[in-house]
């Protein structure tokens, strides 16, 4: 803690031989960051430019990729600075803001995936009602709902955490995620219960809803051969993203709850996978598996 400025600093202890490999870490992560930003924004721009992609499904994909850009921007600049710094520290208010941005965007992704599943459900199971249900104002409401609602709920946790006294000034990881709760002098029952509620409401329920909608799509596809290929082309990318995202999110949430004592190198690898794999995985999946986007990418680069 810096008493002259009355600012509390938190030290990161999850880096592995950062002083020895700082420049290697920096080059690798900077390259990954540029790839994430360029790949996600390329597909977003393609969706914005081409009118045949101005459909709800592609708009939701663009929103998901924009989230990946915001998520990476909340994480990578600080990581890059830490790699070149003698001390890997962050002020407590900045740590809370990174925590808030991290989980707000993660939960927003789950909501967007749920909305995309509903969009596919209506398109395949009720095609005659699709244009009536998925109108422009409906899409706008869904997007606002996916961004504003998680922000409001996690803002409550942010304010409660800011008022809590902290007795620890060291985090085992390389960023401010769920382990921030371990800094408090006394683990709050209210925060634990509220956190469990958020996990169920924002993760478990959306996943169950997605599985239900895709099971219905699977039944319709089995009965009608004409929609099988269409369902496979549009639903498979969403399912791949969901499986990938759910696994890493579950690990991240359980990290602070179970206080796993894994080795430093394993924790670093898992943390890097969370911040690398999902933001880089999304544009690759949607760019290669979504036929219309893939066609525009071919025209752009060929």
pLDDT, tens digit only, all 302 positions of the chain: 444 456 788 898 888 888 888 899 999 999 999 999 999 999 999 999 988 889 998 999 999 999 999 999 999 999 999 999 888 899 998 999 999 999 899 899 989 989 988 998 888 888 888 888 899 999 999 999 999 999 999 999 888 888 888 888 888 888 888 778 888 888 778 888 888 888 888 888 988 898 888 888 877 777 766 565 666 666 777 777 777 777 767 766 666 555 556 667 777 777 777 788 888 888 888 877 778 888 888 888 77
Domain spans of the chain, in order of start: 9-301
3-state secondary structure of 184: strand
Looking at residue 233, what is its pLDDT? 64
Looking at residue 3, what is its pLDDT? 40
Looking at residue 1, what is its pLDDT? 46
Looking at residue 112, what is its pLDDT? 92
Instruction: Report pTM.
Output: 0.87
Q: What gap in Å lies between CA 270 and CA 99, rounded to an integer?
A: 17
Residue 8's CB: how many other CB atoms inside 10 A?
16
Q: Where does residue 266 rank: exposed (0-12), middle (13-18), buried (19+ CB within 10 A)?
A: exposed
Looking at residue 258, what is its pLDDT? 56
Domain 9-301 has CATH 1.20.1070.10: yes
Q: H or E stretch including 155? A: helix 136-163
As given in the structure block, the two tokens for residue 283 are 């544009």
The answer to whether 50 and 72 have CB atoms below 8 angstroms apart is no
* Full DSSP string of 52-119: GG-SHHHHHHHHHHHHHHHHHHHHHHHHHHHHHSSS-EEEHHHHHHHHHHHHHHHHHHHHHHHHHHHH
């Amino acid at each position: 803690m810096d008493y002259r400025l009355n600012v509390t600093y938190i030290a990161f202890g999850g880096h592995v031989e950062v002083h020895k490999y700082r420049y290697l870490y920096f080059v690798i992560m900077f390259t990954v960051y540029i790839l994430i930003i360029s790949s996600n924004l390329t597909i977003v721009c393609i969706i914005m430019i081409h009118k045949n992609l101005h459909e709800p499904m592609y708009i939701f994909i663009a929103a998901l990729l924009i989230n990946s850009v915001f998520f990476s921007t909340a994480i990578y600049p600080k990581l890059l600075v830490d790699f070149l710094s003698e001390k890997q520290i962050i002020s407590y208010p900045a740590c809370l803001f990174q925590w808030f941005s991290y989980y707000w965007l993660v939960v927003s992704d789950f909501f967007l995936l749920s909305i995309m599943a509903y969009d596919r459900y209506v398109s395949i199971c009720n095609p005659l009602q699709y244009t009536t249900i998925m109108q422009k104002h409906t899409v706008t409401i869904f997007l606002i709902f996916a961004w504003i609602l998680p922000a409001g709920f996690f803002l409550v946790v942010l304010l409660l955490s800011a008022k809590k006294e902290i007795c620890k000034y060291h985090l085992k990881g390389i960023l401010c995620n769920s382990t921030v709760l371990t800094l408090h002098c006394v683990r709050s029952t209210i925060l634990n219960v509220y956190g469990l509620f958020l996990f169920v409401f924002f993760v478990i329920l959306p996943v169950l809803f997605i599985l239900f909608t895709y099971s219905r799509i699977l039944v319709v596809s089995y009965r009608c051969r004409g929609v099988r290929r269409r369902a496979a082309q549009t639903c498979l990318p969403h399912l791949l993203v969901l499986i990938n995202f759910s696994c890493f999110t579950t690990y991240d949430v359980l990290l602070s709850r179970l206080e796993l004592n894994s080795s430093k190198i394993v924790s670093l690898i898992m943390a890097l996978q969370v911040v690398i794999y999902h933001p880089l995985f999304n544009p690759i999946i949607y760019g290669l598996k979504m036929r219309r986007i893939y066609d525009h990418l071919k025209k752009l680069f060929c």
